[in-house]
Chains A and B, each alone.
Chain A
Amino acid sequence: MSSFVFAWYSLCRQPARAVLAIAGVAVIGALLFDMLLLSQGMLISFRGLLGEVGFDARVMATSSMPMTGARVGDAAATAAAIEALEEIEVVIPMRIDQAEVVLSERRPMDFTLVGSISGHGAWTVIDGADINQRKADGDASTIVVNRNLASALNLSPGQTVTVRSECLGRRSILPTVEFEVVGIATFPFDSESQLTAAATIADFDRACGGEQDQADLFLVASRSRVTAEAAVEAIQQLRPDLYVFSNDQLVDRFERVGFSYFRQISTVLATVTLTFAFLLISVLLSVSVNQRFAEIAALRAIGFGRRRVAADLVWESGLMVSIGGVLALPLGLALAIWLDRILKSMPGIPADLHFFVVQPQAVLLHIALLATAGALAAGYPVYLASRLPIASTLRNEVVG
């Protein structure tokens, strides 16, 4: 009978202990799995989100987040100069500010107004049409709204909204501007409950009281033959006064500044869960070995070597950890989905950003860490069993 089969019989012999151990490992393993997903998830998701938008560099006036720092002046000329670089394919200036929809029968509703150029992926129209430049003074300004704003105001393409912009951080005294809603769009960095709309830069400026020629940031796409780093370097040489970041640099910065807390928390909690797994298996196996001292001594007496006794226990630990570890994966996944939903409800977190992202590396690391914990946990029981004095154990058992 192989050690594996023997361990399986030993496990089945005490079903309550086995269920307790496996359930314990499954719960602890689920937490460990979630911590491993959390340790990288947000970074992976953030990188993916940046990549999905289709731009590989961002240009800003300061190193602060957009809307929190100074704006770039001479936006049109700056965009044109950057776009003229041979490394650059396209440059999209972006203005972002707060505005409100003026409603006749209730309080105004605040939303984020984006001013940019249509058709480049800064948003995606899912119903109706995209915004377009007014051709004559009498033409209506057009706007696309996100689902949240559309459903909050029951808007659909063809309707009109009255908007008052909050440019330069204070309520504008300028007259309100009428916008025709031409479409419903999704914005990649919107949070779950965010209200957002986008208009052309000209219409954005009109809402802000006239031409401002400023940009909060420029989204830059490099040519396919050029790396993002080369594009960043070229822009930096052209405009050393501006801050230019590739997607990787943004992710690195995010990892160092905002994400390090998550990594530290996940490392601490992963260590704690592993320690729990180690203690649980070690205690249960040690108790089991203590209860079976006489039986182990008898096995040794009939010729089972120390290695064989050790192998039986390592397999028993391995079975508990592997069954519990496998159960931990779906359990951890369900827990991750639930926790992700809770964390994403924090204000300002993009709805498409995930805190927990399943990666093959995380699954492999989960398996490796649990296997190591299981092997280490078997250490003390193995020591007890293999060093058991056969004769005195048999003698004490009979006398006892």
Chain B
Amino acid sequence: MIIIFYLFSFLLLAFALGTVLSKNLVHSALLMIGSFFAVAGLYILLQAEFLAMVQILVYVGAIAVLVVFGVMLTRKGSVKDSNLPNRYKKVGALSAVIFFALLVRSIINTSFPAPSSPVVGANTIIQIAQTLLTQYAVAFEALGVLLLVAIIGAIIIGKETK
């Protein structure tokens, strides 16, 4: 079990590093897909199969494909041509450090409580559905409306003008 955890973690880090360090935009996007798969593997180790499948379906099947699609349509493989560097190196470094510090702080401050009841082998989908539609019903519906607004906005922007 622990070997598999380290395997997935190593893969995740390797893919993530490759995404950042690759000189080719398309390669970066493809390596990012690899890291999504590694995250899905970690979810399965945590027995969150539903989350793992949604991760693959949404991130790999939709978002990553759209990213790769967009990059390929520009037909500019190399980062140098398409993503020109600017002079705000110091400001960029500062904001990156601040964001990283915030992330570390919130990770340390979270207690990560273990579930009191054993969920092993339980049907997690039903539990997720029940929490989503009772406890978090308002937030769930609000998200649905938000997505609908986004879709309508996209259609209006993409509509052909006569």
Partners in one complex: no
* Residues of A in contact with B (beta carbons under 8 Å apart): none
* Residues of B in contact with A (beta carbons under 8 Å apart): none
